[in-house]
Amino acid sequence: MEFVWTYEKNHPQQIKYFLKEKGISKGLLAKIKFQGGEIKVNGQTENVLFSLSYNDKVTIVIPAEGEHETVLLDETPIEIVYEDEHLLVVNKPAGVSSIPAQYHPNYTMANRVKAYYKRQGYENQVIHVVTRLDRDTSGLMLFAKHGFAHAKLDVQLREKRFVKKYQALVSGEITKLAPHGWIDLPIARDQSSLLKRMVSTAGRSAQTEYWLTKNTAEVALVDIQLHTGRTHQIRVHFSEIGCALLGDEMYGGRMDLGIARQALHCYDLRFDHPFTQERLEFKQPLAKDMATVLQHFES
């Protein structure tokens, strides 16, 4: 894969510092040097110590990544929301994990995406997951199609330039939900479980912002934005205020309303394209099982 920039500074600068400003890490530089890549200035091959002058044309060729041979193929089709040479946005169904685990090496979104890359004949087939979702959460999920894109997107994540919003169906004390509210409660591991979390003064700070979108006699639809990223944060917070997610048996959610998984859906994803800087915004309609439940109580 090839990237081209024009050097626009009036003072000389070594290539290695210029490339660092462009997001090229030391690891990626080593890969370019030792695995078949190339650095060129005005069409001539140069090393990282070469000094650039105004208007020089800098080209880097990043070698193909091949594939993770240990990642198995799952030929289940994926629902593509957006794709270009750098990015892939998919709609993940509920019940599918994001990545393989030791005892569950297949049938995840990573396995499905690898099979898709294979079918397309892409030269880069390493799977780069940028935004994960829990197995029973549906909705938008972002993959980078090569390591350089992944690195630049990770910078945006660290700088909190991503917007990632969810919709959830909750029940219980829904009359107490404000039109717009914050839940600011620390979360810690529940010592009685390997997976479960709980609100605890000994936990880490956690903030969840929500908007009440629809309210019926039995269930409410809330839009949610996380301002921290604790495990099970949405599920724990809404359970703690008496409004557990439908289908969320672990945290006391109702299991008798026609949905058997936590009623949580990532519907809104926004970030800057890592190379064009265009602000990308994606919306995904509410998952069918959640929409069906909501329609039932609205009618």
φ/ψ bin of 283: left (φ > 0), alpha (ψ from -120 to 50), beta (otherwise): beta
Contact predicate 219/290, CB 8 Å? no
**Which sign, positive or negative, has the C-alpha torsion 111, 112, 115, 116?**
negative
Question: How far is Cα 241 from Cα 226, in angstroms, rounded to an integer?
Answer: 16
Residue with tokens 């009685």: 192
CA distances in angstroms from 72 to 1, 31, 96, 142, listed in the order given:
25, 25, 15, 20
CA quadruple 4, 10, 11, 16: dihedral, nearest 10:
-10
d(CA 74, CA 70): 13
Give me the residue label for tokens 């949580």: 264
CA distance 18 to 286: 44
Encoding tokens for residue 249? 């048996």
- From CA 57, how far away is CA 257, in angstroms rounded? 62
Residue 134: active-site member: yes
**Catalytic one of 56, 134, 248, 268:** 134
Q: Which structure tokens are listed for 252?
A: 């006391």
- 270: nearest Cα among 179, 153, 183, 168: 153
Residues acting as catalytic residues = 134
